[in-house]
A and B are shown apart, each in its own frame.
Chain A
Amino acid sequence: DTAVSQTPKYLVTQMGNDKSIKCEQNLGHDTMYWYKQDSKKFLKIMFSYNNKELIINETVPNRFSPKSPDKAHLNLHINSLELGDSAVYFCASSAGENQPQHFGDGTRLSIL
């Protein structure tokens, strides 16, 4: 069974569109994260949720809105997509803050 699963794996869309990426974990973890990996492979935290509550919101444009319907899910909705949003987005989860994080396989977002 996949521990942290993200859908879709690939997302190709046009500038200006709105899209969502879903993430689910079956590890029973309390904390979930979204990271962005740019074209140079640099990884940076975007958001962190603990038990459905937002903990971290790094300097991410407010076009990005995370939603956590329950502690096993953390979805990422992006409005008005821009060329610079092209990246790989990784979801992760951990048993708690400062515990090892397990990552999904990533969603490769390409903006045309």
Chain B
Amino acid sequence: GEDVEQSLFLSVREGDSSVINCTYTDSSSTYLYWYKQEPGAGLQLLTYIFSNMDMKQDQRLTVLLNKKDKHLSLRIADTQTGDSAIYFCAESPGSQGNLIFGKGTKLSVKP
């Protein structure tokens, strides 16, 4: 079945790198996504990677995709207190386009 797994919590110090990991089950997903949700706010599309890529870099964000192991990671360099949020991994299996979300990783950044 479709399932996206992520660890629930991650705590880092300001200035360190954060790595949030995700595993997914459906190898037919065209894109894999990372969304950010700040407290009381909506979902912000942070970045996404096409399934035939293995890496994508966008400023402080690096996405790594290992299709063989169905593993996706998000690395945030020089993590800031403003990065504190819940980060959701999502896949889009099948042809209908609906997203299957993980349960979210709550990132806490300590000064």
Per-residue CB contact flags for chain B residues 30-60 toward chain A (1 = under 8 Å, else 0) read 1101010100011111001000000000000
With a CB–CB cut-off of 8 A, which chain A residues contact B101? 42-44
Binds A, one of B19-27, B74-82, B91-99: B91-99
Q: How many pairs, one residue from A and one from B, have CB atoms within 8 Å of each other in the complex? A: 63
Q: Measured between alpha carbons, how far is A45 from B27 in the docked complex, in Å?
A: 19
With a CB–CB cut-off of 8 A, which chain B residues contact A48? 96-98
Interface bracket on A: 20 to 34
Per-residue CB contact flags for chain A residues 60-94 toward chain B (1 = under 8 Å, else 0) read 00000000000000000000000000000010101
Instruction: Considering the complex, give the chain A residue whose CB is closest to the CB of B106.
Output: A41
Q: Does B86 contact A (CB under 8 A)?
A: yes
Q: Does B67 contact A (CB under 8 A)?
A: no
- Say yes or no: A94-B42 contact (C-beta < 8 A), given A40-B103, A100-B48: no
Which A residues form the contact surface with B (CB < 8 A)? 31, 33, 35, 40-45, 48, 55-56, 58, 90, 92, 94, 96-106
